[in-house]
Amino acid sequence: MYNRNFIPTHNRRRIQKTSYMEHKFEGVCNFEVHDVNCSESIEVFHAAYVASRKQLFEDMGYGPWSKDNDLGYQKYLEVLESGDFKLGYYENSFLYRVSAKIKCCGEWLSLERFTNTCSKCGVDYNGSGQILTSRSHWGEETGESWTDCY
């Protein structure tokens, strides 16, 4: 029977698109950008690579990006200026797990942990969407406290 308030755990397929710049410079890895096919245009690859480096600096908290303080970008420029490279493209397909979800208090609660608590009403659910008994009853049989159950 279908329940509009519960979405069971399921798998999703993701396709990772990767464009790369291959070269023969010793000690320097190939350069990659994701989610775009740049294999036909060095200009498009260059713009995507700069955008990915800027995002990396932001995500890692390295401060503002500039071409002068990015060693990876400097190596990329060496390869680019040499003209001795080849652009390529490939796709990888993989499955990943999506946790179950339950609707509580009008909002979807992800059931990705052993104990999942609604932030509005405080009801606890297990990973299968079953309502757990009140925390005051947890551990009665074993002498544990509810704080031991995380």
Domain positions in the chain are 11-96, 111-149
As a whole number of angstroms, the distance between CA 37 and CA 16 comes to 11
Q: Which run of H or of E encompasses 87?
A: strand 85-98
Residue 134 pLDDT class (50, 70, 90 cuts): confident
pTM listed for this prediction: 0.66
Query: Who wins on pLDDT, 55 or 137?
Result: 55
Phi/psi-derived region of residue 91, left when phi > 0, alpha when psi is between -120 and 50, beta in every other case? beta
Residue 3 pLDDT class (50, 70, 90 cuts): confident
Instruction: Tell me what pLDDT residue 1 has.
Output: 46
Instruction: Tell me what pLDDT residue 90 has.
Output: 97
Given a cut of 80, whether residue 146 has pLDDT beyond it is no
For 14-73, the pLDDT digits (tens) are 999 999 999 999 999 999 999 999 999 999 999 999 999 999 999 999 999 999 999 999
